[in-house]
Chain A
Amino acid sequence: MPTSPDSVTHCPPEAGQARKRLAPSALNWLGVVPFFLFALLFLILPTATLMIGAFQDANGHFTLGNIAKLFDDSILSAYWISFEVSAASALGGSLIGLLLALAAIQGGLPAWIRPTLMTFSGVASNFAGIPLSFAFLSTLGRMGLVTVLLRNYADFDLYSTGFSILSFIGLTLTYLYFQIPLMVLIVTPAIDGLRAEWREACESLGGSSVAYWWHIALPILWPSILGSTLLLFANAFGAVATAYALTGSSLNIVPILLYAQIRGDVLHDQNLGYALALGMIVVTGLSNAGYIWLRSRAERGRE
């Protein structure tokens, strides 16, 4: 067989080449070693430790106590607030992101809008943690630029309305900053998948623009939209750095509670921390699974 490496090695003039041909496959494996090492050290091992730790007491004995504690009122309420912030930022992010992407792709805007939006979204969807919190504090914080401008020039005291950047609304707003661009990025391929002929076929059959969106485009996009919203939810649910950097311990959400358990202050209970983390993994895992399932459904319908 001409393609088998053996037959090539039997052929003297090409022997050197054959060695070169074999080498890349070994090199390829060598190339992915760092990835597997990384995954092992920072993903698989910690997850395993965490899953085991969640079922152990401080002395290493098996217990369901940590899991039971998750159902304490204070912890349940932390999960609930996390859930609310994540859901609000996911719903808001997916709605605004969808409209933004639709406008940029199908709105008949100048051609440069789309790549600009995509580049911005690529950057902004990764903007999180301390820099993002700092940016929001310095615009919408008590002494933030926008707050001050509103007070001085529009005679409007944002904080008199009960607004606080350290609150539910504040955190949701901050999360939206990366949720919207993330939605733009993941829903764009689905919108690109809407074929011009569907609209034309609809028109020639007497359907209006509204009929097209209602009967054709939205039903086709629907699994993608729902799936993306789940992904956004998972993304917000796991976002610990931004939450902590922004609100410190003033807002009782799971990532912060978790951080408190691990950091080693008064609350310190490492195994409870593991259980908290396990709960987060379950929630984000479920919504990610939902995302993947819906995405495959969306792809299956394509001709």
Chain B
Amino acid sequence: MAYLTINNLHKRFDDHVVVHDFNMSIEQGEFVTFLGPSGCGKTTVLRMIAGFETPTSGHIRVGGEDITHQSPQKRGIGMVFQSYALFPNMNVTQNIGFGLKMRKCDGAEIARKVAEVIKLVELSGKENHYPHELSGGQRQRVALARALVVEPRILLLDEPLSALDARIRKNLREQIRDIQRRLGLTTIFVTHDQEEALTMSDRIFVMNQGRVEQEGRAEMVYTEPATEFVARFMGNYNLLGAAETQRLLGLNINGHMAIRPESIHVLDAHSQQADTLAGTIRQHQLLGNIIRYQIESAGVTLQVDRLNRTASDLMPAGTEVRLQISRDDMREVR
């Protein structure tokens, strides 16, 4: 049985419905991500799980126990905030030890556990620093340590890395994932960065307007988007409307056709292969190891990615080519 289950969760602020009929279940030790654009309700769902917000209706269960109306103090759910939320009047040791103090642990035990977790998050030497004396990445590690040290049943991370610069973000991302694996912690990670979601998660819940738009293993959500929204959000898909699909591919569909840029093969204009389309290169963009072309075919502009192997690979604008798209790489989405 799943460890955390959420059934028919709704949340309304005045007249504004922010979370509609939200359902999910995750296993113990799993690392899942809520991925979605700003304002889609990620934080609100997280806050309901933590107990800071009361659902309008629905149920939240952990290990079979209904915690929907339990106070945050009793839930044993740790939270790491985007803004760190460290207590400014306490130093690193005191911040991290706070939860243990609230649990009435004795001094020696607190000191031992705090020292342990400080080592885990690599903050040795900063024990007596105050939050304003730390960098953003260090503050976020204190916040992580503070949540970890009380051994929460579930760890919630609300965009914990979004205020940090790219290099520290990557570093901390790996560190968080590593600690999570070692401790076997059930974790929900919120982000609006699809790359972050893809690299970190066991499973991704793509959210849109307060609903789960699609859930699945990271590689599934990326390669098999179920809806137009997911295809757009996961990035770079060529999305063709019904009319464009008919014109370009001669197929009749209802929704959209999603084709990934790297799945379109570019052949030279004299190719004799069957089932190819004529196209003209309009533009190219160098993205390091790949070259992204804008290729027009039957009045439709397609994005096509090719590996950038040698300088002579580059095809200038105006080049006539033939395009080959395998039926398996075309995905019809709602």
Q: How many A-B residue pairs have CB under 8 A?
A: 77
Roughly how many angstroms separate A208 CA and B132 CA in the complex, as a whole number?
25
B88/A202 in contact, CB under 8 A: no
Roughly how many angstroms separate A206 CA and B98 CA in the complex, as a whole number?
9
B79/A200 in contact, CB under 8 A: yes
Which B residue sits closest to A206, measured CB to CB? B102
Q: Which of B83, B98, B139, B150 sits near A202, CB closer than 8 Å?
A: B98
Given A301-B130, A301-B132, decide whether A205 and B146 contact each other with a Cβ distance below 8 A. Answer: yes
A204/B89 in contact, CB under 8 A: no
* B132–chain A nearest beta-carbon distance, Å: 6
A303/B88 in contact, CB under 8 A: yes
A197/B87 in contact, CB under 8 A: no
Given A219-B89, A303-B84, decide whether A211 and B102 contact each other with a Cβ distance below 8 A. Answer: yes
0 or 1 for each of A292-303: is its CB under 8 Å from B? (1 = yes): 000000001111
| B50 sits at the interface (CB 8 A) | yes
Given A197-B83, A301-B130, decide whether A205 and B89 contact each other with a Cβ distance below 8 A. Answer: no
Chain B interface residue count, CB cutoff 8 Å, equals 29
Kindly identify, within residues 167 to 220 of chain A, every residue whose CB is under 8 Å from any CB belonging to chain B: 195, 197-198, 200-208, 211, 215-216, 219-220
A203/B87 in contact, CB under 8 A: no
Roughly how many angstroms separate A195 CA and B88 CA in the complex, as a whole number?
11
Roughly how many angstroms separate A197 CA and B143 CA in the complex, as a whole number?
12
Given A195-B85, A201-B85, decide whether A207 and B132 contact each other with a Cβ distance below 8 A. Answer: no
Q: Which of A197, A198, A203, A215 sits near B51, CB closer than 8 Å?
A: A203
Which A residue sits closest to B81, measured CB to CB? A197
Roughly how many angstroms separate A220 CA and B102 CA in the complex, as a whole number?
18
Roughly how many angstroms separate A206 CA and B72 CA in the complex, as a whole number?
7
Q: Which of A202, A204, A300, A302 sits near B50, CB closer than 8 Å?
A: A204
Roughly how many angstroms separate A303 CA and B88 CA in the complex, as a whole number?
7
Roughly how many angstroms separate A300 CA and B133 CA in the complex, as a whole number?
10
| B78 sits at the interface (CB 8 A) | yes
List chain A residues, Cβ under 8 A from B77. 204
Kindly identify, within residues 293 to 321 of chain B, every residue whose CB is under 8 Å from any CB belonging to chain A: none
| Residue of B84, B88, B103 ringed by the most chain A CB atoms within 10 A | B88
* 11 A–B pairs (Cβ distance < 8 Å), ordered by A: A195-B83, A200-B79, A201-B79, A201-B87, A202-B87, A202-B102, A203-B51, A207-B99, A207-B102, A303-B84, A303-B139
Instruction: List residues of B whose CB falls within 8 A of some A CB.
Output: 50-52, 71-73, 75, 77-79, 81, 83-89, 98-99, 102-103, 130-132, 139, 146-147, 150
- 12 other A-B residue contacts (CB within 8 Å) besides A300-B132, A303-B132: A195-B83, A195-B85, A197-B83, A198-B87, A202-B98, A203-B52, A203-B73, A204-B73, A207-B98, A215-B98, A301-B130, A303-B88
